[in-house]
Amino acid sequence: EPQLSEEIGTSRGRLRTLLRRLEEDGAIWPHVGKGTFIGSRETVEVRSLAAPSFSVGDVFAARILLEPLLAAEAAVHATAENLAVVRQCHEILCKTEGYLQWKRLDDRLHREVAKATNKPLLLILYDTLNTQIRQALDTRLEQVFGHAHGPVPDANAEPGRIVDATSPFQAAA
């Protein structure tokens, strides 16, 4: 930590804040005595259990079943902070121009909804499905959309409906 803060020219306190934010976003995870790793802990641990040969259709079918349930659970169990993160992610997503960046933000939005359920097992299920999708699709998406200027015009409508679906029960809270 002292070496990294010196290398990037920031205080240790600021570095800790940034690392904590990356950990909350699922970008890194610390393991005491072993270091800090890229990706979420659940994804890394579950990856070794996941069968390597799911079809893309199987994975999307599972996501189509799971994601509405995640949004419903988030609508009931999300904190105001969870909802603020989901809304902020959607706002950034709507302003994004490059397809690959848009895709990453869309992935993050869906993960934030899963996280907003405040149920770790549901987040692990989402991460498992998302890992399978990444393995199957990322290379192809880069080949097809790598230099595209952005998603199709109505691509932000579905994420917007997901964000809206997480909010109804929170208004009364």
> What is the per-residue pLDDT across 72-85, written as a single tens digit (0 to 9) for each?
999 999 999 999 99
Do 59 and 134 lie in a common domain? yes
- 156 in Cβ contact with 106 (< 8 Å): no
Q: Say if 153 falls within a structural domain.
A: yes
Residue 106 sits at the vertex; the CA angle it makes with 102 and 109, to the nearest 5 degrees, is 140
pTM (2 d.p.): 0.57
**Length, in residues, of the chain:** 173
What pLDDT was estimated at residue 131? 79
Q: Say if 46 falls within a structural domain.
A: no
Residues contacting 171, CB < 8 A, separation 6+: none
Query: 91: pLDDT confidence band, cut at 50, 70 and 90?
Result: very high
3-class secondary-structure state, position 11: coil
Query: 119: pLDDT confidence band, cut at 50, 70 and 90?
Result: very high
Name the residue with higher pLDDT: 93 or 47.
93
Do 152 and 85 lie in a common domain? yes
Q: Say if 87 falls within a structural domain.
A: yes
Q: Say if 69 falls within a structural domain.
A: yes
Query: 118: pLDDT confidence band, cut at 50, 70 and 90?
Result: very high
Q: How many domains does the chain have?
A: 2
User: For the chain, where are the alpha helices, taking DSSP H only?
Assistant: 2-8, 12-24, 41-47, 56-77, 80-95, 99-115, 120-145, 157-165
Do 67 and 108 lie in a common domain? yes
Do 151 and 73 lie in a common domain? yes
**Residue 52, number of CB atoms within 10 A of its CB:** 7
User: In the predicted model, is pLDDT for residue 34 greater than 70?
Assistant: yes
Q: Measured between alpha carbons, how far apart are the two ends of the chain, in Å? A: 40
Do 68 and 130 lie in a common domain? yes
Residue type present at position 167:
S
Residue for token digits 């259990």? 49
- Domain span at residue 102 reads 53-165
What pLDDT was estimated at residue 171? 47
Q: From CA 88, how far away is CA 76, in angstroms rounded?
A: 19
Q: Say if 159 falls within a structural domain.
A: yes
User: In the predicted model, is pLDDT for residue 122 greater than 70?
Assistant: yes
Q: Say if 48 falls within a structural domain.
A: no
Task: Output the average pLDDT for the chain.
Answer: 78
Do 66 and 27 lie in a common domain? no
